[in-house]
Amino acid sequence: MTKEKLPRALEVCLSFDVKTYDIDFAGIVGNIVYIRWLEDIRLAILAAHLPISEQINRGIGPAIVKTEIHYKRPLTIHDPVEGRMWVESTGKVRYSLAAEFMTGTTTAATARQEGCFFDLKEKCPIALPRELI
């Protein structure tokens, strides 16, 4: 599969406040919180370029098929967090997203997700919507 490399295409940046329910017994942000933040940023990209309501009207939906996170520095409840996500590459059916979570100028984590869109009725992958290519 040939993939086209993109220069931080469709980049979105969100700020996150660490909540008391985001931390574990040691006061560190739990791994599952990063998954939730990735979903929040991905939904912000979709809201800006292909809202869920439009997808439903077309009979399509997004799916994540792979998530990879590399934790570089633990975050605590005192850390301001900024998350960025962008489309890293696209293929005919799949796309790759890259993300980073920063506190100040320090990278706390990097992530990569692979996804596709599927036909809601047939439950099978479809070509990427033109808005995301």
Which residues constitute the domain of residue 54?
A: 4-132
| Helix residue ranges, H only, the chain | 31-49, 52-58
Measure the CA–CA gap between 17 and 57, rounded to whole angstroms. 33
Indicate the number of domains in the chain. 1
Q: What is the pLDDT of residue 131?
A: 86
What's the CATH number where 119 sits? 3.10.129.10
Share of the chain above pLDDT 90, in %: 90
Residue 129: pLDDT band by 50, 70, 90 thresholds?
very high
Q: Is pTM beyond 0.85 here?
A: yes
pLDDT tens per residue across span 68-92: 999 999 999 999 999 999 999 999 9
- 90 CB-near residues (< 8 Å, 6+ apart): 3, 4, 6, 96, 128, 132, 133
